[in-house]
Amino acid sequence: MLPSHYRSSGGTDADAAASRRAGALLEARKKYGNKNNPQPLGLILLTASCCLVLLFQLWLSGSSSSGRTNGTLADGVTPSQRRVLAAARRGAGAHLGAASRNEARQFPAPHLRNLVLVACHSVYTGLDFTNSEEKSSWFLLDYQKVPGQTHSFVEHIQLGVREAAADPDSLLLFSGGKTRKDAGPRAEGEGYWLVAEAAKWYGNPQVRDRAFTEDKARDSFENLLFGLCRFYELTGRYPEFIVVVGYDFKQRRFLDLHRAALRLPVEAFRYEGTPALNSAAVQGEEATAAAFEADPYGCHGQLAAKRAQRDPFAAGGYNGDRCPDMAELLTYCGPKVFDGPLPWDGTI
C-alpha cells in the first residue's frame, strides 16, 4: 500500500500544492501583464520566488517519500525544512499580498506622506469646547493641578496645527486613548481634535481635512507605535518624516528611546516640545525613562501595570489586522531591539 501522503494518481500533496501555486502565478501574470504592459519588477521578483517554492516543494516531496528519520515532524518534514519553506512562501507572497491588501482597502488620505503626532496628556470632560483653558474642562491628575497646565494642552494642539499647516503633505494625528475611568469613555485624542474644531483650527481651516485621531494609546511609546499603525490605516503607507509634539522633558524619551526601539531613522524624526510646568513631572521623567531603557516596549513591571491602569474600558491595543506589516512588532516584548522586518527601513 502506498503511504497516506500519496494520492491515487501517483502525486503527493506537495506536488498538488505546487501545481496550485503555479496556477495562481499564471493567473497573476494574466491579470498584471500583457504585451503592452511590461512586467513590473515586483511581479518578476514574485515569479522568481514562486519558482524557488516549487523547486523546494519537489525536493521536499522526494525527501519525505523516502521515509521518515529521526527529527522529522508528523508529516515527514524536518523543522529546518519547514522554516525554509515558510521563508520562501513569505517571499513569494510579499509583493502580491501587499498589493492585494491595499487594493481591497479604502484609505481616506492616500496622498499624505508625513506625520505630525501630538501626544495627548488629558481627557477633555467639558461640554463646551470653546472653554479649553478652564481647569473644569479637563480631567486633571493631582500633579497637573498647577497654573498653566490646561493652557499647555491647548498649546500642544496649536503647535500641532501649525506644524501641519506648514507641511501640506502631512497628516495631523492627535494620539491618546480612553485612559481615565472617572472621565468616562472619552478618548484623549478626540478631545484635542474637538478643541481645535471649536477654535476653527486657529486660522488654518485647511488642516481640518488632514486631521485625525488615534484613540488607543496608553503611554508615550504607544503614542508613537500606534500612531504609525494609524497612519497606515489612513494613507496606505508609512510616514516619510515624523514630527512629535509634546513636553520638552520628554524629548529624550521619544528621540533616543522610542524612536530607536522602532528603528525609525533619526534623520526623518523631529521633536517639538513646550516647557515643563512643575518639577514633579521632570523628576518623574527620570524614573520613566530608566524603565523604558530596561524594557523598551513597555511589556513588564511598572510600565505594563501603568498601561493596564490606563485601560479602564478594556479597549486594548492594535493588532496586525489593522497594519499587517507591523504585526510582529505590535506583539514584540523582548528586552533587545526588535530585529524583524519593518516597512520603513527597507526590510519589507
pLDDT per position as a tens digit, 11-34: 445 445 445 544 544 454 444 444
Q: Which residues of the chain have pLDDT under 70?
A: 1-103, 348
2: left (phi over 0), alpha (psi -120 to 50) or beta: beta
| In contact, 144 and 122? CB cutoff 8 Å | yes
Q: How far, in Å, are 51, 164, 303 from residue 168 at the CA level?
A: 44, 7, 36
Cell numbers describing residue 83: 522554516
Q: How far, in Å, are 6, 57, 63, 263 from residue 77 at the CA level?
A: 15, 11, 9, 35
Q: Give every CB contact of residue 107 below 8 A, 6+ residues apart in sequence.
A: 233, 234, 235, 236
Parallel/antiparallel/unpaired status of strands 241-247 and 114-119: parallel
| In contact, 147 and 271? CB cutoff 8 Å | no
pLDDT of residue 279: 80
pLDDT of residue 104: 72
